[in-house]
A and B are shown apart, each in its own frame.
Chain A
């Protein structure tokens, strides 16, 4: 006779899968640009919007965005949040600012770290510029952008970025 046992209620089944990442032709151009310390976007031939990075198509028109557009180093904070919560692996001192940055000439914002300004002074419309890592540290990733910092220019008018918030 088997003795009565507690039912099994949990079991661990460790799963690990490794993948290649397929950036695609369009985003590869953007990543190579980052490795050279510059932002590369692509323009939609139908609606003329500039995506940075482009995944290869205009998500509105569904056509290839094959016109390459060199973008500058400056942009505008369209929205932001203050990070006050510490978490494992955090490399930046809290509080710090994560913002959506709309590069000049681009039609889509991306996430960036804002530094060199007290957290309570960051605001929508703040003009910022990218600070790149040292040339020998540049690589095909957003880690090439150390952070964004204020340019000192007057804030952008709300109307100039209201469609991107």
Chain B
């Protein structure tokens, strides 16, 4: 039996063994959440030849604010069929944090496999108002600052600090959308030059159309397995050799928006710098945020950043971070990479950040 690569933290080695996602699209007009998730579950379980009865723990990430109804995460369980009953949990966050919870639970003996999923139908309501409600309810949310305006403040801070140019934002967008041409699940993909993108109008200055994420309906799922079970189910499991998440103040006005110290700390504790990084999937909904994250993680030259196209190619809320982990893991599992970094963000302007290091081992 091969041995997993050594990991930071955790008493049992845990790996991603399967990843699946729904087609990302602007509006899924016909299927409800349950109907969107069912084929994703069939896909993610089918890829490793298992059934729902093979998983010991189920954890999801979603938010009722997108659906506009209470306990939507409970009805989503109808898509998996939790009978006989089993351990199940939910986070009102991106499903990358559900994966973190599953990783913790998998440290227990007797829990050998977990199904993690996230879903978000962003098309059902006015996203700019819904997202504003994650701000503090007393002084910020009543002003209804929309996410594009907030992101523009962050981009402006980068320009004012001399840390980036508008062309740098366009270069990120051009690369991500070009990479997305190879991603059949992407929603926005094109081959355009920086010069072409710079002719676009501002949506909110200094952000042009290309620097914004699409509004996406989507869902994704991952199967995690511990120890021997991972080798049993996957030829080349993507071992989680480090995972950590950190949070900053709720108030965007209380931070230096050009930096992401929580990403830097999570990256350090996850061991990003312990070896060469082949691939980094960074959850940067706005183009300029990729620059902040790459700097916080100290990713050098030669790292393939967001080969899937990242969140600029598709941005299903509550699933986008989990998809970053899945995209990174896929590249380990199919041998395109040996060591990958996956990042997920939640909250306004990169408030909370999770970093995972995935390795194929020998």
A interface residues (Cβ-Cβ under 8 A, vs B) = 11, 13, 15, 17-28, 55-64
Q: Chain B, interface size: which category?
A: 20 to 34
Chain A residues in 8 Å Cβ range of B83: 59-61
Cβ A63 vs Cβ B35 within 8 A: no
* B32 & A24 in contact (Cβ 8 Å cutoff): yes
24 A-B pairs in the complex with CB atoms less than 8 angstroms apart: A11-B138, A13-B142, A17-B65, A19-B125, A20-B124, A20-B125, A23-B32, A24-B30, A24-B32, A25-B35, A28-B30, A55-B34, A55-B35, A55-B78, A56-B79, A57-B34, A57-B35, A57-B38, A57-B78, A59-B77, A61-B81, A62-B52, A62-B78, A62-B82
By a CB distance below 8 angstroms, the chain A residues around B52 are: 62
Least CB separation from B67: chain A residue? A19
B125: nearest chain-A partner, CB-CB: A19
* Nearest B residue to A27, CB-CB: B32
**B75 contacts the other chain (CB 8 A):** yes
- Interface with A: B91-99, B126-134, B240-248, which one? B126-134
Give B181 Cβ to nearest chain A Cβ, in Å: 30
A22 touches B124 (CB 8 A): yes
Interface centre among A20, A23, A28, A56, by most chain B C-beta atoms within 10 angstroms, is A56
Select which of B34, B68, B124, B125 is within 8 A of A56 by beta carbon. B34
How many angstroms from the CA of A63 to the CA of B46 in the assembled complex? 14
Determine the distance from Cα of A55 to Cα of B32 in the docked complex, in whole angstroms: 8
Whether B165 sits at the interface, judged by CB under 8 Å, is: no
Closest 3 CB pairs of A and B: A62-B81, A24-B32, A19-B68
Contacts of B82 on A, CB cut-off 8 Å?
Answer: 59, 62
Interface string of B65-92 (1 = CB under 8 A from A): 1011000000101111111000000000
Nearest B residue to A56, CB-CB: B35
| Complex-state Cα separation, A13 to B139, whole angstroms | 10
Taking CB atoms, residues of chain B closer than 8 Å to A64 are 35, 38
Give the complex CA separation of A13 and B142 in angstroms: 6
B32 x A13 contact (CB < 8 A): no
Please report the C-alpha to C-alpha distance between residue A55 and residue B186 in the assembled complex, in whole angstroms.
Answer: 27
A56 to B80, CA, bound (A): 12
In the bound complex, CA of A63 to CA of B77 (Å): 12
Task: From the candidates B79, B125, B126, name the one contacting A57 in the complex (CB within 8 A).
Answer: B79
- Partner of A62 from the list B41, B67, B124, B142 (CB cut-off 8 Å) is B41
Once the chains bind, are A18 and B126 in contact (CB under 8 Å)? yes
Question: In the bound complex, do residue B133 and residue A19 qualify as a contact, i.e. CB atoms below 8 Å apart?
Answer: no
Contact between chains at A58 and B81 (CB < 8 Å): yes
| A18-B125 contact, Cβ under 8 Å, with A27-B32, A55-B75, A62-B38 | yes
Question: What residues of chain A lie closer than 8 Å to B29, measured between beta carbons?
Answer: 22
Q: A22-B33, A55-B34, A59-B82 are in contact. List 11 more A-B contacts (CB 8 A).
A: A18-B126, A20-B123, A22-B32, A22-B124, A24-B32, A24-B34, A55-B35, A55-B75, A56-B34, A56-B78, A64-B38
Which residues of the partner chain B approach A18 to less than 8 Å between Cβ atoms?
A: 125-126
Which B residues are CB-close (under 8 A) to A17? 65, 68, 125-126, 129-130
The contact string, 1 if C-beta is below 8 Å from chain A, for chain B 205-232, is 0000000000000000000000000000
Given contacts A11-B138, A23-B32, A62-B52, contact A57 B129 (CB under 8 A): no
State whether the Cβ of B141 lies closer than 8 Å to any Cβ in chain A.
yes
Q: Which residues of B contact A19 (CB under 8 A)?
A: 67-68, 124-125
